[in-house]
Amino acid sequence: MDRKANTVVPVHLTPIVASGYAPAISFYKDDGVLSISAGSTSITVEGQEFSYTGEKSLSLLAAEIKRALPNVDARPLMDVAPAAGSIFQAANDETPDGGTVLRYLGMSVQIQERTRIRLVKPHRDGPSAAWWARVNRGTLKTTYEGIRYTFGVPEYSSQSWSPKYGAPYKEYGGVEAEVIDDHKLRLPRTPILWPGPLTLYRNGKAMQPSVVEDVSSHNGIVYLNSPVALNDRILVDFVYEEENYVYKGVNLNPTLQHAPYLVDRFTVFYLVPHTSNAGLRNTTCIRHVIGDTLEGAISELAKGVTGQTPIVLLGAIRTRQVEDAVDVSVYDARRPGGGVKEDINAQKIESEAWFYADIGNYDGRPYPGNAVVIVRLPENVKTIFSEDQVQSKVRNHLALGVLPITDYE
């Protein structure tokens, strides 16, 4: 007689597509420049070939590479013994901390923990944006005083989704991207829907879509085929996947423009039941309380909760200063007679250091910090006024400390 297991673990198999391969092993090098390629039976690192077929696991392969190449750090990301042709390298594939990734051409199993409801930190949106805590979806059932309660996050489905793509995709626009280098940007939310809509704006002007060479969806890295300057302000509109519920009941950003009252305080998040077999039904289940200490916040929670209904504590978030005045380091970059010490890179200390008159520029005068304006005049003005007369008239219409640059057209 056939017997069925009384516990079924739901799983899915990752499809064999380029974006779905599981990461197998990552590589790092001290100077950041790494030569690596994957063949059908071996991996070539810095010109040396290492076989990966047979009974050799990725852990053993990583150890072998590190012994042979002390300046290369190889880290296994799964412990399998890959078959021939099962390791491959995708273009511009990196870990979040900059390692080169090789992926495993096989099926991976992911357990879907439907009982895992947990607190997730806010997205990395920067100091000017609101910081919203997130809650991972899940389901939890318990019996309390003879009543069966079900906990969940019903609010998740009521979020504002992309009108075009629907859940679980959200559109995010006008956000500033981090310029990593002249050909690489980092977006604050992941995973990114790619291929998908992605528009970049450089200093207020839309860039051509063709400027995007590739996107690392899970790392949030955008690779460009034309350079940008490190001081360019790059804004971006994109679509990303949101698997968590974004709780907007309290803004956790403690800056003066948002919620300064939260500095060094605790925000405790908890759940009330979604449903019960006694007829209870809540459509919004996530709540929070704030206290000066963790014990104080829990005490406030106890005051507002009756003993008739159970709750589930999700966790607490504390916002605090990471530095104080005593943590500030002072560097004296001056030298007698003016200017900056020769062994100090002034621009690393102050990005506008070369604008200071006492530093000096052999190739031209520094730009002042107030403003620089470009004055465009007809070419025939030169036949009426001398250059000194033109500059004198232009300066009469500008405030002190503003540098005019005259352009004839």
Distance, CA of 68 to CA of 64 (rounded, Å): 6
Render pLDDT for 52-76 as a digit per residue (tens, 0 to 9): 876 778 888 888 898 888 888 888 8
Q: Which residue has the higher pLDDT, 396 or 183?
A: 183
Distance, CA of 317 to CA of 229 (rounded, Å): 36
CB-count exposure of residue 47 (10 Å: 0-12, 13-18, 19+): exposed
Render pLDDT for 134-151 as a digit per residue (tens, 0 to 9): 999 888 888 988 899 999
Q: Which residue has the higher pLDDT, 202 or 367?
A: 202
How far is the CA of 358 from the CAs of 181, 229, 336, in angstroms?
30, 26, 11
Cα angle vertex 198, ends 197, 199, to 5°?
125
Lowest mean pLDDT, pick from 15-29, 157-171, 186-200, 387-401: 15-29
Is there a contact between 178 and 125 (Cβ–Cβ < 8 Å)? no
Count Cβ atoms below 10 Å from residue 259 Cβ, excluding itself: 19
Q: How far is CA 276 from the centre of its chain?
A: 39
354, 345, 311: which is closest to 140 by C-alpha? 311
pLDDT at 120 over 80: yes
User: Whole-number mean pLDDT of the chain?
Assistant: 81
62, 68, 55, 64: which is closest to 23 by C-alpha? 62
Distance, CA of 12 to CA of 112 (rounded, Å): 8
pLDDT at 18 over 50: no
Distance, CA of 338 to CA of 146 (rounded, Å): 82
315, 313, 304: which is closest to 151 by C-alpha? 313
Lowest mean pLDDT, pick from 29-33, 56-60, 276-280: 29-33
pLDDT at 365 over 70: no
How confident is residue 4, by pLDDT bands cut at 50, 70 and 90?
very low
Locate tokens 């300057």: which residue? 229
All structural domains of the chain with their residue ranges? 11-110, 126-155+248-319, 169-241, 346-408
Single-letter amino acid code for the residue at 142: T
Residues 6+ apart with CB under 8 A from 300: 289, 290, 291
Percentage of residues in the chain with pLDDT exceeding 70? 81
pTM, whole model, 2 decimals? 0.55
Tell how strand 212-216 and strand 140-144 pair up: unpaired
Q: Which residue has the higher pLDDT, 40 or 7?
A: 40
Locate tokens 């489905």: which residue? 157
Percentage of residues in the chain with pLDDT exceeding 90? 27
Mean pLDDT within 312-336: 76
Q: Which residue has the higher pLDDT, 122 or 111?
A: 122
Residues 6+ apart with CB under 8 A from 280: 149, 273, 309
Single-letter amino acid code for the residue at 238: F
Distance, CA of 236 to CA of 177 (rounded, Å): 7
How confident is residue 50, by pLDDT bands cut at 50, 70 and 90?
very high
How far is the CA of 56 from the CAs of 52, 104, 133, in angstroms?
6, 14, 43
Lowest mean pLDDT, pick from 85-99, 257-271, 284-298: 85-99
β-bridge partners, 38: 43
Residues 6+ apart with CB under 8 A from 178: 185, 186, 187, 188
Mean pLDDT within 128-137: 90
How confident is residue 375, by pLDDT bands cut at 50, 70 and 90?
confident
Count Cβ atoms below 10 Å from residue 58 Cβ, excluding itself: 22
132, 136, 111, 107: which is closest to 122 by C-alpha? 132
pLDDT at 356 over 80: no
Is there a contact between 69 and 58 (Cβ–Cβ < 8 Å)? no
